[in-house]
């Protein structure tokens, strides 16, 4: 005997289901349509401004003409610095959490620290970078200070993805390796890291991509708007793409819209490329996996 003895009750429930499904379908559409719209809109409006000169020449006339080369180079340098400071340390810490840390209060404290670091607002990182690197370490407003600030902000992402990626490697490999006379580090180096590398790589790429497009942490630690020349030392300030976008869209009177759209398009392209690279790495690794 089914729960629906009454035919009309059955019809009612089905109607409810159809209405509900349509409602959710509409909701989801409304959620994702803006994304598509935004991407298409930026591409459409920004392409006219893109040219080889735009990407490789210096700006002129107070940014209203010319190219965005210093912003691109600045973002590249900041991302490079972030990589150098965050990735080795982050991977090591991730290895610690996955393969060395026992279930002790200290480990739980470290985990809380990682979660907390991940939740700190980007502008607070900016304040921290200002207080520690710019002022206390006397680096001044510089690429170095900004890169290190970005690095600490990126650290939790690298650690989490490394740990997660290493944890998915089957434990059987560790047991077998040890039983054949390998040390823990040999096991990690030869097997675990090798198998977990695609996951780690993906996490690093996405973490660096996020660092490259953040504005608030570099606002008072390294970013400048109008610099007549490219930076020559790590202690110089630099222009950067995200900051550049912010200023030209809010603070430069008479700023041609095409250049604004074009600059945004450059950043968008960078983001999309990074995501595609990460996805490719992830899917190729899954196909080649021997487990």
Partner 1 sequence: MFKSNPIRTDRNITYIIKIAGYSCILFLALIFFFLLRNGLPALKDTGLDELFKTIWYPTEGYFGILPLLFGSLLVTFTAVLIALPFGVGTAVFISEIAPQAMKETLKPLVEILAGMPSVVLGFIGIVVLVPFMQKTFNLPTGLAALTGAILLGLIAIPTVVSIAEDAMNAVPQSYRQAAIAMGATRWQTIWGVTVPAARTGILTAIMLGIGRTLGETMAVMMVTGNAAVMPEGLNALIQPVRTMTATIASEMGEVATGSAHYAVLFFIGIVLFVFSLIINILASWVSTRGRKRSERILS
Partner 2 sequence: MVNPMDIIQIENYYITYADGAESLRKINLRIKTNAINVLFGPAGGGKSTLLRAINRLNDLTDVKEVKGRILFKGKDILDPKLDVTELRRKIGIVFSRPMPLPMTVSQNVSYGLEVAGERDRRKLDEAVEKALRLAFLWDEVYDRLNDPANAISGGQQQRLCMARVLALEPEVIMLDEPTSALDPVSTARIEDLLQDLKAKYTIILVPHNVQQSSRMADHASFFLQSELIETGEGKKLFVAPKDKRTQDYVEGRFG
Instruction: Work out which of 105, 181, 253, 254 binds partner 2, going by CB under 8 A.
Output: 181
> Do 158 and 204 meet the contact criterion of CB atoms below 8 Å apart?
yes
By CB neighbour count within 10 A (0-12 exposed, 13-18 middle, 19+ buried), where does 269 fall? middle
Distance CA 242, CA 134 (A): 20
Nearest-approach distance from CB 17 to partner 1, in angstroms: 4
> Do 144 and 81 meet the contact criterion of CB atoms below 8 Å apart?
yes
Q: Note whether 182 binds partner 2 by CB under 8 A.
A: yes
Q: Note whether 106 binds partner 2 by CB under 8 A.
A: no
Q: Note whether 173 binds partner 2 by CB under 8 A.
A: yes
Contact range with partner 2 by CB under 8 A, out of 18-26, 37-45, 75-83, 176-184: 176-184
Distance CA 166, CA 197 (A): 8
Nearer to partner 1, 209 or 236 (CB): 209
3-state helix, strand, coil in the chain (%, to 5): 75, 0, 20
Nearer to partner 2, 30 or 180 (CB): 180
Q: Note whether 168 binds partner 2 by CB under 8 A.
A: no
Nearest-approach distance from CB 57 to partner 1, in angstroms: 22
Q: Note whether 251 binds partner 2 by CB under 8 A.
A: no
Nearer to partner 1, 55 or 272 (CB): 272
Nearest-approach distance from CB 179 to partner 2, in angstroms: 5
Distances (CA, A) of 230 to 233, 244, 246: 9, 14, 20
Nearer to partner 1, 38 or 232 (CB): 38
Distance CA 113, CA 282 (A): 28
First to last CA, the chain: 47
Nearer to partner 1, 14 or 289 (CB): 14
| Residue 173 binds which of partner 1, partner 2, none (CB < 5-8 A, kind-dependent) | partner 2
Return the DSSP state at 132: I
Q: Note whether 177 binds partner 2 by CB under 8 A.
A: yes
Q: Binding to partner 2 (CB under 8 A): which residues in 194-223?
A: 194-195
By CB neighbour count within 10 A (0-12 exposed, 13-18 middle, 19+ buried), where does 140 fall? middle
Q: Note whether 287 binds partner 2 by CB under 8 A.
A: no
Coil/strand/helix, residue 65:
strand
Q: How many chain residues interact with partner 2 (CB under 8 A)?
A: 22
Q: Note whether 174 binds partner 2 by CB under 8 A.
A: yes
Q: What are phi and psi of 223, to 5 degrees?
A: -90, 145
| Residue 172 binds which of partner 1, partner 2, none (CB < 5-8 A, kind-dependent) | partner 2
By CB neighbour count within 10 A (0-12 exposed, 13-18 middle, 19+ buried), where does 123 fall? middle
Return the DSSP state at 257: H
Of 143, 163, 161, the closest CA to residue 151 belongs to 143
| Residue 58 binds which of partner 1, partner 2, none (CB < 5-8 A, kind-dependent) | none
Nearer to partner 1, 72 or 93 (CB): 93
Nearest-approach distance from CB 168 to partner 2, in angstroms: 13
| Binding stretches for partner 2 (CB under 8 A) | 102-103, 172-183, 186, 190-191, 194-195, 289-291
């Amino acid at each position: 005997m089914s729960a629906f003895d009454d035919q009309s009750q059955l019809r009612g429930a089905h109607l409810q289901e159809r209405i509900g499904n349509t409602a959710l379908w509409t909701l989801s559409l409304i959620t994702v349509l803006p994304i598509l719209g935004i991407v298409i809109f930026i591409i459409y409006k920004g392409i006219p401004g893109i040219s080889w000169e735009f990407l490789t020449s210096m700006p002129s006339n107070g940014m209203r003409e010319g190219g965005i080369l210093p912003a691109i180079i600045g973002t590249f340098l900041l991302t490079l610095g972030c990589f150098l400071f965050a990735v080795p340390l982050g991977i090591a810490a991730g290895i610690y959490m996955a393969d060395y840390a026992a279930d002790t209060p200290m480990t739980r404290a470290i985990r809380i620290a990682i979660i907390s670091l991940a939740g700190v607002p980007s502008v607070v990182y900016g304040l921290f970078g200002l207080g520690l690197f710019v002022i206390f370490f006397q680096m001044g407003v510089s690429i170095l200070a900004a890169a290190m600030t970005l690095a600490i902000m990126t650290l939790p992402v690298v650690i989490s993805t490394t740990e997660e990626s290493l944890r998915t490697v089957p434990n059987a490999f560790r047991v077998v390796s040890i039983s054949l006379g390998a040390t823990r580090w040999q096991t990690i180096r030869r097997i675990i890291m090798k198998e977990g590398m695609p996951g780690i790589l993906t996490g690093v790429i996405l973490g660096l991509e996020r660092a490259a497009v953040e504005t608030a942490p570099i606002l008072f630690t390294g970013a400048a708007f109008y610099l007549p020349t490219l930076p020559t030392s790590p202690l110089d300030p630099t222009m950067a793409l995200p900051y550049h976008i912010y200023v030209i869209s809010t603070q430069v009177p008479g700023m041609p819209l095409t250049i604004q759209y074009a600059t945004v398009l450059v950043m968008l392209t960078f983001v999309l490329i990074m995501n595609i690279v990460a996805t490719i790495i992830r899917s190729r690794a899954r196909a080649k996996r021997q487990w």
